Amino acid sequence: MTTALRILPGLSCSCPRLPWAIHAPRLASGMALQKEGRQLFEEAVRVVLPGPMLHRALILEPGGLRVRDRSFQLHHNLYLVGFGKAVLGMAATVESLLGEHLVQGVISVPRGIRSAMECAGIQEMLLKPHSRIQVFEGAENNLPDRDAQRAALAIRDLAEGLSANDLLLVLISGGGSALLPAPIPPITLEEKQMLTKLLAARGATIQELNTIRKALSQLKGGGLARAAYPAQVVSLILSDVVGDPVDIIASGPTVASSHSVQDCLHILTQHGLRAALPRSVKTVLSRADSDPRGPPNCGHAFNVVIGSNTLALAEAQRRAEGMGYRALVLSSAVQGEVGRLARFYGLLTRAASARLSLLGEGGSARGEAEELLRGLEEELKLPDLQLEEVLKAVGEASGPVCLLAGGEPTVRLQGSGKGGRNQELALRVGMELSGVELGRCEVLFLSGGTDGQDGPTEAAGAWATAGLVGQAAAEGLDAAAFLARNDSHTFFRRFQGGSHLLLTGLTGTNVMDVHLLLLCPR
């Protein structure tokens, strides 16, 4: 089945539509790089939209449902719950495929996503007028709130009412943790929010955040699966976590937690928060290992990852090759602080452009950049980084090169500005490339969140070139000053009339971020 793809225009009908472009032959100009970078990002998003993924995952058979290699009986015994940024579209697809068997459903989705899809006229991501699925909207700016908590409790109540003959289909995507807050009493939502904010502000990874969330939640860490027992549980997961670990995505509501209280205490100590814990959190952690809720192993739950960053990068690679690039995937497991990653991408650009344009061949320019790059590679410890293979392939390329990566970096907050990790990374890469000799290469770096929302902003991300800092200075904008207060969005909004912002609106999916580095010999 072919699904028409449109990126949403944002949360207001006054926002402009941004149509999907038809690919044309490559042009060796700056405008062409901008256009092609955006097109490749959009193609990466296209392949992980809910409709195509679920049609690949769910096979309706006579009397049953097949998911991968497992079959399940269907006889008007289907219940559905879901939570995440892609779940509205996922639920709409399930309803169109399995609606005659659906008894009841409850989903928790980001505030405003229904109106955005209605505004865009994207019917395939909307539920039917008299749907059996109840929709809660909450978690504005990806932060748990009272509305999301009401949704979580409604999901818990549905799960607890199921019997052994029932089948619970659980739809999970990025943003699911914030949309499923049900703290274990006596912890309050405000206390859990405060702890999550403090961890994020101190640079905690998504894995660390979710480890803490699981320990403090009624539904995460396998809690939802245990609530649904003895019903059969099938979870369809759109991964927004490096490596696609099902126990970490949305904090693993249908997967038994492998983390202990000691793991939580280690994380809290590492980030200097153990001494400042509220009494309620200390109480819950002290009794966590003796929690009687069971069955503890969640053996009645079948978890399937149906979409990921790897899939998005593979599609972008295929499209780039069709546009005349030598396209190479560096890594789908990019993590770490954005400053270090920006340094990495800056050095990678220097090394790749030297090989591509023969700048400093056999001399210091190439050798110095590559030596520094390899040192930073060891420091970043990216598990699937293909650096040597990529550098070799770049040296053998006879035309433009597209280097692709994906993952979820972190930002250590130092100021009170407005931005997100993608815009900050793009600006920092622009800083790294300022004044650097790139030979005969034209360069563009783009970083975008596949959900269409980078932090609490309307942008998915931004793109930068080697001339960004100098051009900004000519407009009276000091890029370093904006970075010092984590104000990348304000910078890009002011710079050249906001033309370097990647504005897509909410996309209806989420598989972390996509990074594109385009190098084109002049």
Please tell me the distance from the alpha carbon of residue 336 to that of residue 465, in angstroms, as a whole number. 22
Question: How many separate helices (H) and strands (E) can be counted in the chain?
Answer: 18, 15
Spans in the chain with pLDDT lower than 70: 1-30, 289-295, 358-366
Please tell me the distance from the alpha carbon of residue 452 to that of residue 509, in angstroms, as a whole number. 8
Please tell me the distance from the alpha carbon of residue 145 to that of residue 153, in angstroms, as a whole number. 13
Please tell me the distance from the alpha carbon of residue 418 to that of residue 420, in angstroms, as a whole number. 7
Which residues does 48 contact at the CB level (< 8 Å), separation at least 6? 238, 307, 308, 311, 312, 450, 509, 511
In this prediction, residue 264 carries a pLDDT of 94
In this prediction, residue 145 carries a pLDDT of 92
**Assigned token pair, 68:** 């991968």
pLDDT digits (tens, 9 = 90+) for 437-478: 888 889 999 999 999 999 989 999 999 999 999 999 999 999
Kindly provide the b/e burial profile for residues 152-165, where b requires at least 16 CB atoms within 10 angstroms of the residue's own CB: bbbbbebbeebeee
- Calculate the alpha carbon distances from 194 to 95, 142, 191, 460 in Å: 37, 14, 5, 26
In this prediction, residue 439 carries a pLDDT of 80
Q: Beta partners for 307?
A: 238
In this prediction, residue 11 carries a pLDDT of 37
User: Going from the N-terminus, what domains does the chain have, and what CATH number goes with each?
Assistant: 50-307 (3.40.50.10180), 309-521 (3.40.1480.10)
**Assigned token pair, 325:** 């690039």
Please tell me the distance from the alpha carbon of residue 139 to that of residue 147, in angstroms, as a whole number. 7
Asked if 148 contacts 485 with a C-beta cutoff of 8 angstroms, the reply is: no
Phi/psi of residue 109, nearest 5 degrees:
-130, 165
pLDDT digits (tens, 9 = 90+) for 192-248: 889 988 998 898 987 888 789 889 999 999 999 999 999 999 999 999 988 899 988
Please tell me the distance from the alpha carbon of residue 140 to that of residue 444, in angstroms, as a whole number. 32
**Which DSSP letter does residue 325 get?**
-
**Which DSSP letter does residue 212 get?**
H
Query: Which pTM does this prediction carry?
Result: 0.81
